[in-house]
């Protein structure tokens, strides 16, 4: 949920909602053609995760306009994007109404 919340806080409501690859009650949220860095490169962002009594983790997939994995260490923007994601997670807002919006 944390990754979903930080992208919602930054970009607003997602473009698509798909079944979570983790098979839980949450959905994977997708933002398309969003800029994360000052250079205005566009990315497709998949945010997913698990939140249960025993498991809690978040995941993110970032693809560039050529559908290349931007988190892969061989990607030229990998380090910058990981730093940006870390900052976003550290500075995220409180959950507020995100749970309500997510259930829509």
Does residue 13 contact residue 98 with C-beta atoms inside 8 Å? no
pLDDT at 68 over 70: yes
Q: Is pLDDT at 69 greater than 70 in this prediction?
A: yes
CB neighbours of residue 64 within 10 Å: 16
Residue 39 is given by DSSP the state: T
Task: Look up the pTM and report it.
Answer: 0.82
Q: What is the number of alpha carbons within 13 Å of residue 72 lying toward its C-beta?
A: 9
Please give the mean pLDDT across all residues of the chain: 85
C-alpha closest to that of 23 among 68, 62, 55, 45: 55
- pLDDT, tens digit, for every residue of 13-59? 999 998 887 666 678 899 999 999 988 899 999 998 777 777 777 88
Residue 59 is predicted with a pLDDT of: 86
* CA 62 to each of CA 7, 71, 84, 103: distance values in angstroms, whole numbers, following the listed order: 12, 7, 12, 23
pLDDT of residue 51: 72
């Amino acid at each position: 949920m944390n990754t979903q919340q930080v992208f919602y806080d930054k970009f607003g409501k997602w473009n698509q909602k798909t079944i979570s690859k983790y098979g839980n009650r949450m959905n994977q949220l997708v933002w398309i053609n969003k800029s994360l860095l000052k250079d205005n490169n566009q990315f497709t962002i998949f945010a997913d995760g698990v939140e249960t009594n025993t498991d809690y983790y978040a995941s993110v997939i970032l693809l560039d306009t050529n559908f290349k994995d931007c988190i892969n260490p061989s990607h030229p923007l990998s380090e910058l994007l990981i730093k940006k994601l870390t900052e976003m997670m550290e500075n995220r807002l409180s959950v507020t109404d995100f749970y309500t919006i997510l259930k829509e």
